[in-house]
Structure 1
Amino acid sequence: MPAWWQGFGDPELNALVAEGLAANHDLDIATARVDEFAARVASSRAQGLPQVGYGAEAGRQRTPPGNTNDNYSALLSASWELDLWGRIRRENEAARANLLATEQARLGVALTVVSAVVTSYVTLLDLDSRLAIANATLRGRQESVDVFQMRLDGGVVSEFEMMQVTAEYESAASAIPALEQAIALQENALSVLIGRNPGPIARGGKLQTLVLPAIPAGLPSELIARRPDILQAEQQLVSANALVGAAKALYYPSISLTGAGGSVSTELDDLFSGPTGVWSFAGQLLGPIFAGGAIDAANEQAEARREQALSAYRKAIQDGFRDVEDALASIQSSAGLVASLTRRVDALKHAVYLARERYDNGYSDYPCWTPNAACFPPNCR
């Protein structure tokens, strides 16, 4: 997976992503699931290999008129099913495809973890920025309260005007606890996401210092096919198709070969010496005659699962294109919003500057206004 998050240029963010990929519990579960399917592939492969075993037996028998006989045997056996119709081969193909699908699912979880860490970190920086603005607003309100207190003491303004300014100060102060709570909750959520206990999160800088990664123009649509969710759906389709072939093979007979060789003796010392060897070899042919529709039903189930996998694959591709288009549209609209808000901030800064200039030159009263307040220059009194 490309380390795209490094494009933000924040070392703390890089460290958090690395920690999340190493300790996230959902990713641990997905990795263990991959190990499980790898073991299933090994088990499926074993079906196409000869099965070799051994056995040993010892016994004593007494027969009339009081004779006692000892019997010892040691045998080595082997069995092998001939895969003439491809059933085992198709089952192996399905198992391998399921393993690849599970690996893609793990990559999808990893990508989700990375995206969640980056989003949570950016949200945390945004909350920090909002808190800084709230604190700066509170300091401005405090300055207004101090000025109006002096003017109230001098008899220039009324107590009603003083209460208006005080209310503006308390309104600004009330926003700070909510932001501090949101920051603490965001830190706790990000800590759990990366496998830590809830606690504070270190920042590498401010929201304004993050570098927005550039999106190259003219990216080919084939890149959509590299998405883990699409690759997972593709391998699930391969698995479902292979199981259709395995189900069709049930109509044909299965052929098995078995063999055994070893030694039999009435004396333990002579078990592996002397002319006591035995062997056997047999072939077995088993085929269905009447199964009450069970084989037909198995084929219908396999074909239905293949149709489901095909529809899921098509849906995954369409969802991938939709996600890309949604993201590009969001980036474009966000860029316009940022430009508009930047112009608004510049206009408000200039308005504050002009209001202070009017106050300093005696053309208006002290600028107590805010963008959301009714007291707006030059109407402040």
Structure 2
Amino acid sequence: MNTALLLSALTLAVATLAGCAAGPDYRKPQVDMPPSWQPEAPWRQSRPDDAQLRGPWWQRFGDAQLNALQEKAMAGNQTLAIAAARLSQARATAGIADAATVPQVNLGARAQRGRISANRPLTNYNSPNYATVQNDFALGLNVSYEADLFGRVQRAVEGAQASAQQSAADFENTRLLLSADLASNYFNLRELDLEMDVLTRSIALQRRALDLATSRHDLGASSGLDVAQQQALLDNTLTQVDVLRRQRGQYEHAIATLTGTPAPLFSLAPSLAAINLPQVPLGVPSDVLERRPDIASAERAMAAANAQVGVASAAFYPSFMLAPSYGVDSRNWGALFNAPSVLWSLGVSATQSLFDGGRLRAGVDFARGNYEATVAGYKRTVLTAMQEVEDGITGIAALDRAYAQSQSAIRSASRVLDIANSRYEGGVATYLEVITAQQTLLSNERQSAQLMGQRLLTSVFLIKALGGDWQERGMAGEAPAVGDAAQPSARPAS
């Protein structure tokens, strides 16, 4: 009866103190957030939801080839496979930590036959030892449970769960970075396709001009200098084609690696299909805290580090282990389950550190230092996110204006080339004017293609900075999103 009362009292004490946990409770630190971005019209705001799934944002560009490559990358990229394996490990670790909150029950069995030495040390001088050969059969049930009076186990579970959530956020961040990296390489490749198309058309124009200069020279209407100048311009343009082909091959090889394909087995045919800029809603700055997986990862790292402070602090307090057991033991198999063969034990063991030379205090200081580092890392991640979004906003606005101006420059350069050709054919101008006009038109068309590629890349950069995809929610009276004023074509005007 006394034993039962003692066990009941101990259980009540465990239940009473289990809610007490060493170390500070986790509280997410506050970060000063601006009330709004500084966009230029026609940006609009969104209503992001932190619980939404981050869908295939790349589909908003309307490129079927890009969509297929993204699906292939999600299935075959090895960096993403590593992140998935790390997530599985973190979840398993959380499961291991959570298992410490419940008693561990083990069943043991033993069956052996052995001889006891007659020359073993005596336990009593009046009782000599004898050699004995006998059987030993045992079956026992053992229970082990740490009474978490000071919250060590609780903090360890909190830390493991936060680490698992951090790994989940890291996995989502890896997916986002992978999709953005693939889209960036793809759009760089398509921008080079546009430039090569410009060069191809320029080469055709320059060949016709070379034929004209050659004909006029053969008729004696012009000097050989005109032919030589036009030939030099054509040779220079042909050289640029080879340079662009090399650059395109590098982007093609990068896409192959991202999709998990050996580079020698991968190729993408040139394409001039139109690629639309998506309408990217901004929302307010605080939405980025909910949408970006890298910020979520940094916040969960703080929670895990805070829990480790509690684990280190709990080491100052005694630990209590409950280890009751029940079983049977007999030298005869037939009598194993008889009442005299029963054995059991009830008890508790406690361990308290009395002197450790400052080891426990150093452990707490180390854990607190790690926590402060994660707080600084979290704030740095948030500040970087603010910078990236603002860069994307101002970048797209500036590039939109530059692209529109480049179209006007192409039209002007085309008129200048027509006038220069007419003046040369009429004999009132030198061929240098034609050469200059051709070079200006080529430069303007290539610049327009480059600006188109930069607009696509900046859109990808902004989507990544905002945390990925968003939900479409029609709101009455909204200002149009970027791209409403003029949907661009992938091929610049000429």
TM-score by length of 2: 0.71
Matched, 1:252 2:306: no
For 2:340, what is the secondary structure of its paired residue? coil
Q: Percent identity?
A: 26
Q: Flag the structure with more relative contact order, 1 or 2, with Cα contacts below 8 A and sequence separation at least 6.
A: 2
Segment of structure 1 superposing worse, 232-241 or 364-373: 364-373
Matched, 1:26 2:26: no
Task: Select 2:367's aligned residue among 290, 297, 302.
Answer: 302
For 1:251, what is the secondary structure of its paired residue? coil
- RMSD over aligned Cα atoms: 2.2
CA contact (8 A) 2:70 2:259 kept: yes
Matched, 1:220 2:284: yes
- Alignment correspondent of 1:339: 404
Segment of structure 1 superposing worse, 293-302 or 346-355: 346-355
CA contact (8 A) 1:12 1:202 kept: no
For 2:384, what is the secondary structure of its paired residue? helix
Change (3 A) 1:65 1:190: closer
CA contact (8 A) 2:421 2:434 kept: no
Give distance in 2, aligned partners of 1:349 and 1:84: 83
CA contact (8 A) 1:13 1:204 kept: no
Task: Select 2:101's aligned residue among 48, 58, 78.
Answer: 48
CA contact (8 A) 1:121 1:190 kept: yes
Matched, 1:94 2:147: no
Structure 2 residue runs of 5 or longer lacking an equivalent are 1-53, 119-128, 441-494
The residue correspondences of 1:1-381 to structure 2 (distance < 5 A) are 1-57=54-110, 58-61=112-115, 68-198=133-263, 199-202=265-268, 205-206=271-272, 209-216=274-281, 219-225=283-289, 226-273=291-338, 275-358=340-423, 368-371=434-437
Change (3 A) 1:93 1:337: same
Q: How far has the Cα of 1:342 moved from its partner?
A: 1.3
* 1:329-368 C-alpha deviation (Å, 9 max, x unpaired): 1111111211221111111112223334546667657773
Change (3 A) 1:204 1:51: farther
CA contact (8 A) 1:108 1:229 kept: yes
Change (3 A) 1:137 1:256: same
Give distance in 2, aligned partners of 1:183 and 1:205: 12
Change (3 A) 1:138 1:298: same
- Alignment correspondent of 2:19: none
Query: Which letter does structure 1 place at the counterpart of 2:115?
Result: Q
Change (3 A) 1:153 1:252: same
Give distance in 2, aligned partners of 1:99 and 1:18: 26
Give distance in 1, aligned partners of 2:336 and 2:225: 115
For 1:48, what is the secondary structure of its paired residue? coil
Give distance in 1, aligned partners of 2:196 and 2:357: 72
Give distance in 2, aligned partners of 1:126 and 1:240: 45
CA contact (8 A) 1:12 1:203 kept: no
Q: How far has the Cα of 1:274 moved from its partner?
A: 5.0
Change (3 A) 1:107 1:373: closer
* 1:228-282 C-alpha deviation (Å, 9 max, x unpaired): 1110010000111111112111111111111111111121232234531111111
For 2:434, what is the secondary structure of its paired residue? coil
Query: Which letter does structure 1 place at the counterpart of 2:258?
Result: L
Give distance in 2, aligned partners of 1:194 and 1:66: 73
Q: How far has the Cα of 1:215 moved from its partner?
A: 2.3
Segment of structure 1 superposing worse, 313-322 or 344-353: 344-353
Give distance in 1, aligned partners of 2:77 and 2:378: 28
* 1:165-221 C-alpha deviation (Å, 9 max, x unpaired): 2111111111111111211221111111111111444469526x111011236x122
CA contact (8 A) 1:41 1:96 kept: yes
* 1:358-380 C-alpha deviation (Å, 9 max, x unpaired): 46667657773244759xxxxxx
For 1:262, what is the secondary structure of its paired residue? strand
Give distance in 1, aligned partners of 2:91 and 2:242: 51
